[in-house]
Structure 1
């Protein structure tokens, strides 16, 4: 597709993705609470949700999305409930040393991926970007199969960069908390952050 249009889309997506929202809050919360390893699969799920909404927008399925409004409501509340569950687990986690906490039983990657996917499919910020703002940036009626592939590649690349930066920064911040008291504060802060992300998704 037109390089200028692809650059415009990538720039707009970068600004939207980098601005804090439920997705970023959830990713940062996971890193602070459990470390960066589990955040990768969760971030893949979040990015996959963006690709789903991008596909809906290009295929002109906004009306279909409205028709299945109840389905997306279920997905939205499922994602919010998942975040609340993780928030509770981290809030109530014992203030263990980081080397002990690192050996805690990890969540299955598929569960993390579907958690991230559910969060994005119900995230109002993402929905507004693809179904409302994207048509003002690109002429979606002229997107070819190659253009769609380029947009998907741009989406994954931009989100990969944004998520990687947040994961690295959160992982470094996590290393500053070493004493039981500091870890307890971190757990409570992380739990509150995730609960806030869940509320933001469920209330819109």
Structure 2
């Protein structure tokens, strides 16, 4: 992986983690109602879920890459189109309000974050289709695998912990439609731009 690929992948992961979603709403709800540690436990569950997808992508798709060959070029195009569509949909989506949730134990918060991630269609699609667009799975090395794990922990975990830490402020921020609209416009434009980069790179 080149520095450009690492930075681009990190940017995509941060952008996806920042997008208001079920996992973000869960982190915010737990942290605002049961404290920062509960929000952090949800974030940890989300990160573990993402790491499971990373390992599955590397181990399960490395052998596939040798067989599928040029199909991964098509997947790269699909990945770019998907990101552009995701960005447009985000810009046009309705405001998202964090769901209310009762306080619970740290283990329950962790499990809820893990389950939400493993059931997230966007996460499944990212690691099964978008992920190979950034990583040559036919020649992936141990050092690259460690880089991918580190990127996942820092990008996803860092963003979710940020949401947990700022839960009270974010809860009130999300009720402000104009502010959320500005955020979604910026995040959606970033996603569409990265999608265009993938199409040009392919």
TM-score in terms of structure 1 length: 0.59
- Give the C-alpha shift of residue 2 in structure 1: 2.9
* Residue number in structure 1 paired with 2:24: 24
* Residue number in structure 2 paired with 1:157: 154
Indicate which of 112, 121, 125 corresponds to 2:118.
121
Distance 1:162 1:89, change over 3 A: closer
Distance 1:63 1:22, change over 3 A: farther
Judge conservation of contact 1:36–1:171 (CA < 8 Å) in 2: no
Runs of 4+ off more than 4 Å: 61-64
* Residue number in structure 1 paired with 2:141: 144
Judge conservation of contact 2:38–2:106 (CA < 8 Å) in 1: yes
Task: Write the distance in 2 (CA, Å) between the matches of 1:33 and 1:63.
Answer: 45
Distance 1:107 1:63, change over 3 A: farther
Gaps of 5+ in 2: 65-98, 173-202
Give the paired residue count.
138
- Give the C-alpha shift of residue 173 in structure 1: 5.2
45-54 or 7-16: bigger deviation: 7-16
Gaps of 5+ in 1: 65-86, 91-105, 177-204
Distance 1:61 1:108, change over 3 A: farther
Task: Write the distance in 2 (CA, Å) between the matches of 1:89 and 1:44.
Answer: 18
* Residue number in structure 2 paired with 1:68: none
* Residue number in structure 2 paired with 1:50: 50
